[in-house]
C-alpha cells in the first residue's frame, strides 16, 4: 500500500485537494493501492481559503511514501512545525510534492535549493525574489527534480497526480484514470502553462476567426493576404486591426502558434524533428530552430532531449 499524506494549513486552496480524486479513482479501477491521509500541525478542523474547514490528523513520525503540500491563494507563511516536518520527512519519503504555491512551502523548508521547480505563473516573480537559489521555470505544468515534484497552479495538480499514478502503476492505468475523470491524459511536465491563442485574446470575430483558421492550417501558407481573405478584410485593414487587438504582427502570432504546436508534438514523442517542422509549417528544421531559440532560448533538439528523458522515467504499459 502506497501511503500519501496531504499537508495543509489554515487558508489552503480547496481545489488542491482535487488531487486526491486521482488516487481514489486509481484504487477504484486497479484495486487498493493508495492510502491517503490529511495532516496539519494541530489536527482537527483546518479552515480553507473559502472559510469552511476539513478534518485532519496531526503530524506524526509515521513514514509516508509521498507527501503533497497543498498551496494557498496568498502565499501565507507556513507554520514552522510544517517546515520541520517536511525537513525530517525528506529523508524518508520517496516523493515530496507541491501543488501550486505549495512550492513556496517546500522551498521555505530548504528542499528546493539548487533544484528546478515551478509554481503558478502569477507568483513566479515573487518566488524568484524569495528563493534565488531555486531555478524557477514558471512555464511548465510540473517539474520533477530528484524526489521533489512541483506543479503549476490549480488544475496542474491533476497532471502531477496522474504522473505519479503513471510512475507507480503504468501508462494504461493513468490513461484509464484520466478518462474516468474526463480530463486530458497526463500533460507532460514540459508542456507550457499558457496557450498562445488565449494569450492573444482577440476582441473581434474576424481576427478570432483568422487565428482559429491559422491554428487549424499551420502546414499551409498563412500569409497576411491569406488571413485577410479569411477575415474578409483588405491586407492593410487586417494587419492594422490584428496589431491593435493582439499587440503583435500576424507573422509573430503565427510563429507563436507554430512553436506551440511543434512543442506539443515533441511531447507526444512520436515524430521526428523533420516531420514536426513540416507539419507545423516551418518548412525545414533550421527555420524551426530559429523560432524555438526566439521563443524558448533553446533549440528543438535540446527540448526534445528533455522530453525524451521525462518520458523514459515513466513505465510503459
Residues annotated as catalytic are 100
d(CA 139, CA 156): 12
Q: How far is CA 77 from the centre of its chain?
A: 24
d(CA 18, CA 155): 8
Grid cell listed for 24: 481514489
Neighbours of 185 (CB within 10 A): 14
Q: Listing from the earlier edge strand, what are the strands of the sheet with 34-40? A: 44-47, 53-58, 34-40, 2-7, 66-70, 95-99, 148-151, 142-145
User: How many angstroms separate the most distant Cα atoms in the chain?
Assistant: 70
Q: By 3-state DSSP, what share of the chain in percent is helix, strand and coil, each rounded to 5?
A: 50, 15, 35
- Assess contact for 125 and 177: CB atoms under 8 A: no
Neighbours of 56 (CB within 10 A): 20
In the three-class reduction of DSSP (H, G, I as helix; E, B as strand; rest coil), residue 126 is classed as: helix
Amino acid at each position: 500500500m502506497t501511503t500519501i499524506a496531504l499537508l495543509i494549513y489554515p487558508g489552503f486552496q480547496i481545489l488542491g485537494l482535487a488531487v486526491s480524486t486521482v488516487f481514489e479513482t486509481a484504487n477504484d479501477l486497479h484495486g487498493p493501492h493508495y492510502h491517503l491521509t490529511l495532516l496539519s500541525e494541530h489536527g482537527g478542523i483546518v479552515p480553507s481559503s473559502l472559510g469552511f474547514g476539513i478534518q485532519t490528523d496531526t503530524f506524526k513520525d509515521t513514514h509516508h511514501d509521498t507527501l503533497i503540500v497543498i498551496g494557498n491563494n496568498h502565499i501565507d507563511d507556513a507554520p514552522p512545525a510544517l517546515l520541520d516536518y517536511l525537513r525530517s520527512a525528506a529523508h524518508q519519503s520517496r516523493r515530496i510534492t507541491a501543488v501550486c504555491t505549495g512550492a513556496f512551502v517546500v522551498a521555505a523548508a530548504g528542499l528546493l535549493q539548487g533544484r528546478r521547480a515551478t509554481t503558478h505563473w502569477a507568483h513566479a516573480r515573487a518566488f524568484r525574489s524569495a528563493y534565488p537559489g531555486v531555478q524557477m521555470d514558471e512555464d511548465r505544468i510540473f517539474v520533477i527534480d530528484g524526489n521533489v515534484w512541483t506543479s503549476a497552479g490549480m488544475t496542474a495538480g491533476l497532471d502531477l497526480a496522474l504522473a505519479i499514478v503513471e510512475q507507480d502503476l503504468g501508462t494504461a492505468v493513468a490513461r484509464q484514470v484520466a478518462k474516468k475523470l474526463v480530463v486530458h491524459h497526463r500533460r507532460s511536465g514540459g508542456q507550457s502553462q499558457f496557450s498562445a491563442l488565449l494569450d492573444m485574446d482577440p476582441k473581434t470575430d474576424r481576427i478570432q476567426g483568422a487565428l482559429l483558421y491559422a491554428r487549424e492550417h499551420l502546414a499551409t501558407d498563412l500569409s497576411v493576404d491569406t488571413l485577410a481573405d479569411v477575415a474578409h478584410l483588405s491586407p492593410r485593414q487586417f494587419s492594422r486591426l490584428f496589431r491593435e487587438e493582439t499587440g503583435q504582427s500576424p507573422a509573430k502570432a503565427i510563429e507563436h502558434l507554430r512553436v506551440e504546436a511543434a512543442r506539443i508534438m515533441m511531447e507526444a514523442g512520436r515524430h521526428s524533428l523533420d516531420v514536426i517542422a513540416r507539419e507545423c509549417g516551418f518548412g525545414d528544421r533550421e527555420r524551426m530552430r530559429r523560432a524555438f531559440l526566439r521563443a524558448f532560448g533553446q533549440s528543438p533538439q535540446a527540448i526534445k532531449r528533455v522530453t525524451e528523458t521525462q518520458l523514459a522515467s515513466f513505465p510503459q504499459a
